Structure 1
Amino acid sequence: MTSVIDHDVPAPSWFARQGDLIMRRPFNEWTFTHMNWLLPTERVARGPLHRPLPDRHRELALTYRFDGAELSLADLHRRTFTTAFVVLHRGALVHESYPGAFAGPRSRFQLFSLSKSLTSMLVGIALAEGAIGAVTDRVTDYRPDFAGTAYADATLADLLAMTSGVGDLEAWDVPGTDIKRFEEACLGRGSVEDVLRSARRHAAPGQHFNYSTLDAQLIGWVLEAATGMSLARYAAERLWSRLGADRDAYYWLSRSRPRTAIGGGSFNATARDVARLGLLMARDGVLDGEQIIPRDWVRRAGVRDVPHLAVGALGPSGYDHYGYANQWWTLDGGAFTGLGVHGQYLFVDPAADVVIVKCSAWPTEDDPDRDRETVAALQAVTARLSGRSVSLVA
């Protein structure tokens, strides 16, 4: 199994100049399904075996309650700019819709920070294989070139929990912040590595949650150093080729050299294939009797006993209805979700055996109200399918 750079010509010069514009509506509905037209990419090959999802489509005629109103799924899609919506229950495809103008079952969606959750899955595989020794290993055990930086004392566990203590508050709309410098470097204006090396420490490792794409990027680099493979190749060989996926996936790569995948934000795949990842997480990492991801690692996504990572305790870089564990956002009731800016969700409720993928094209990167509404709707879908009550975010 190999992974190749499919597209390595420079992106149009206007892309770097108009990066903010094409991430806004209405342009972003096209952008989020055509990243491979705009940036270099590296393929994540699906492998020879295809496992179709069992098809048990049904009409989901339900309502959810938000801000005192009873709303339908059609309302959700209109109000939160849904582009794809895929629901699995007990491993079967029970509902699917593609409201996006450029969306369909074969469309590959830009998943943004939902990529972080995939990177975590790959770390679990690398630990089981022995490529990574332990989560208590320091970053510098794999990337000694980070000695002397703010990351010198951080462990892999610190990065996975977003408690490295490095970096400022992730504010996309504030010029000069670490995340804006990171974004600009990805588009070719500066060095991605320089952004991480110059980030400053604001707290001791392991003490406070601060959501950080820089932390996730470093996890990806540790993984590449440990395995001797690019992120895309490792994902293909150890995970994607074993899923029975519908299509190849891909990472887009930075325009700046050396080219690098953005482990915290550049994975693209079909909504059904993202649901397959969620199914693995709902089933303790097992697919057709084969342990793809270690069970103990999958269960780390549900950890809720760390006080500063508990639901409601994350502080200014997390919403009140979330906690955090191992690159996943946790919710009351046992569910957890991968999240990406502009409204990307991989929602997993293992107890209900429900997986929901929602791709979106929000006008802005973050939107607390649209997030709360989305979670309320996803919980309502879960309650309908499972026949049990859930803790609703209202």
Structure 2
Amino acid sequence: MKKLIKLGAAMTVVMLNINTAGAQQALPDEIAKGKPSDVPIATQIMRWHMNDGDVNAFAFRNMDELFSIRTVPHSGTAWILPREDHRMDFSYEFNGRTFNAEDFLERNYTNAFLVMKNGKIVTEIYRNNSDASTRFMGWSMTKSITSILVGAAVADRSIESIDDPIVKYLPELKNGGYRDVTIRQILEMRSGVDYEERYDFANPGIAASNHINALVKNVARFADAGLDIGTAAKPGEVFAYKTIDTAILGWLIERVTGGTVAAYTTGKLWEPMGAEADGFYIMDGKPGVGREFSGAGFNATLRDWARFGQMLLNEGTVEGRRVVDAEWIRTARTPLGSEAGVDGGYGFQFWTREGSEAYKAVGLQGQYVYVDPDTQTVMVKLSYFPPGDDTPYVETEAFFGALTSWAPK
């Protein structure tokens, strides 16, 4: 009997060892190679898959569960956005067919959606178990916030001129492709540095490798890729969208203000704008090591994204108070050339709309803050587009055209 008990116990230990070994997730080869990371394997794998179409609807509104974050706290009385709710009783044309506006949200992978007309909320919709307290990842809409922060640093005289070379403030960049680049050229995405915004993880180039090392594994700082980067074009001559450019601007803000990007966002935008909830940046490393991902890492509630849009529409004012310099906003939303994109062009980290005064902050996989001065419209769409599919972007543009013409009754 004792032998049977011992045999049973031994078999149990063996089975436990087998199950434990088999239960551990394995890192994809693209992550496993290179410098080891102390980020838990399960977390690395979820970060690796966060953009996938079967999980992004959830991941894009729970980034504080995936990353270390730095909070941008709200404070004081929130800016009250008046409202006059209306059903979206219009239609739009896409691919030769007519669709009801209310069908757009499901057709177009929407987590949350808000429309303001003439300073009032007329539509506010939450989907997929999100609500007014949910904080949504802005992805590259963060670039537009970073532009506003650079403008604030210019107004503070922390930056003497955007025509200064970046190495005046960040001499660490003197040995790489940024050595002859001005702040203006970085704002315009015309730095000319050799950084192709391509994320082919099977054959990772500099952008994909930087994503893996800085964001998935946290073994490098995202902006540090600029230290020894090469040159692909003469500065100022060629538009090429690069998240590394905006990361360098975030480092610039950190340097000239003597604090963190989050602290400057709090003091120059979030508090004076009257945000109603805390925002946050995801970090490219643990506290004390990482930096805010200033190129694509800011998260906020739907209404606070709308406040940002309405403040822009008001040319920098909130309830009569000046928050952002009006001239900076006008310059930032002025397109620099049609080669920047088929949709009209690019300013200082804002996209513009051809044939219109409208402009927008745009983020990966369908994040939008859309501002149309002509019709006094602000629209926020927080989405989970499937990766690699351009159709939702095209349909969204068709919908925008109809939305701006809509006059709620």
**Is the pair's TM-score, using the shorter chain for normalization, greater than 0.5?**
yes
Do the aligned partners of 1:49 and 1:242 also contact (CA within 8 Å) in 2? no
**How far apart are residue 303 of structure 1 and its match?**
1.5
Aligned to 2:129: 102
**How far apart are residue 352 of structure 1 and its match?**
1.3
Backbone CA RMSD of aligned residues = 1.8
Aligned to 2:232: 202
Q: Deviations over 1:47-95 (max 9, x none)?
A: 1111221011111111111111111233322222111111111111110
Gaps of 5+ in 2: 1-37
Aligned to 2:216: 187
Aligned to 1:323: 345
Matched, 1:73 2:101: yes
Q: Distance in 1 between matches of 2:158 and 2:39?
A: 34
Aligned to 1:391: none
1:341-360 mapped onto 2 (5 Å cutoff): 341-360=364-383
CA spacing shift, 1:159–1:296, aligned 2, 3 Å:
same
Q: Distance in 2 between matches of 1:180 and 1:169?
A: 9
**How many aligned positions are there?**
367
Matched, 1:90 2:118: yes
**How far apart are residue 196 of structure 1 and its match?**
2.3
Q: Distance in 2 between matches of 1:384 and 1:17?
A: 44
Q: Deviations over 1:22-44 (max 9, x none)?
A: 32122111111111111111110
Give the TM-score of the pair, scaled to structure 1: 0.89
**How far apart are residue 46 of structure 1 and its match?**
0.8
**How far apart are residue 157 of structure 1 and its match?**
0.5
**How far apart are residue 331 of structure 1 and its match?**
0.6
One-letter amino acid matched to 1:224: E
Q: Secondary structure at the match of 1:242?
A: helix
Matched, 1:273 2:296: no
Matched, 1:132 2:159: yes
Using the TM superposition, name which of 76-85 and 110-119 deviates more. 76-85
Q: Distance in 1 between matches of 2:346 and 2:408?
A: 24
Matched, 1:338 2:361: yes
Q: Distance in 1 between matches of 2:227 and 2:90?
A: 49
Matched, 1:239 2:295: no
One-letter amino acid matched to 1:378: F
Q: Distance in 1 between matches of 2:407 and 2:157?
A: 39
One-letter amino acid matched to 2:135: R
Q: Secondary structure at the match of 1:102?
A: coil
CA spacing shift, 1:281–1:42, aligned 2, 3 Å:
same
Gaps of 5+ in 1: 1-9, 388-394
Q: Deviations over 1:128-173 (max 9, x none)?
A: 1111111101111111111111111111101110000013331223
Q: Distance in 2 between matches of 1:358 and 1:369?
A: 16
**How far apart are residue 20 of structure 1 and its match?**
3.1
1:1-394 mapped onto 2 (5 Å cutoff): 12-99=40-127, 101-174=128-201, 175-184=203-212, 185-188=214-217, 190-192=219-221, 193-255=223-285, 258-304=289-335, 306=336, 309-310=337-338, 313-314=339-340, 318=341, 320-332=342-354, 333-364=356-387, 367-385=389-407
Which entry has the higher C-alpha Rg, 1 or 2? 2
Q: Secondary structure at the match of 2:407?
A: helix
Q: Secondary structure at the match of 1:88?
A: strand
Do the aligned partners of 1:187 and 1:255 also contact (CA within 8 Å) in 2? no
Do the aligned partners of 2:219 and 2:285 also contact (CA within 8 Å) in 1? no
Aligned to 2:23: none
Q: Deviations over 1:226-269 (max 9, x none)?
A: 11110100000111011221201000101367201011100000
Do the aligned partners of 2:109 and 2:385 also contact (CA within 8 Å) in 1? yes
Q: Distance in 2 between matches of 1:152 and 1:383?
A: 46
One-letter amino acid matched to 2:44: A
Q: Secondary structure at the match of 2:192?
A: coil
Q: Deviations over 1:249-298 (max 9, x none)?
A: 00010136720101110000001101111111111111111111101001
**How far apart are residue 14 of structure 1 and its match?**
1.5
Q: Secondary structure at the match of 1:356?
A: strand
Do the aligned partners of 2:195 and 2:244 also contact (CA within 8 Å) in 1? no
**How far apart are residue 181 of structure 1 and its match?**
1.7
Do the aligned partners of 1:352 and 1:386 also contact (CA within 8 Å) in 2? no
Q: Distance in 2 between matches of 1:76 and 1:337?
A: 19
Q: Secondary structure at the match of 1:277?
A: helix
Q: Distance in 1 between matches of 2:44 and 2:57?
A: 18
Q: Distance in 2 between matches of 1:139 and 1:151?
A: 7
Do the aligned partners of 1:29 and 1:102 also contact (CA within 8 Å) in 2? no
**How far apart are residue 219 of structure 1 and its match?**
0.6
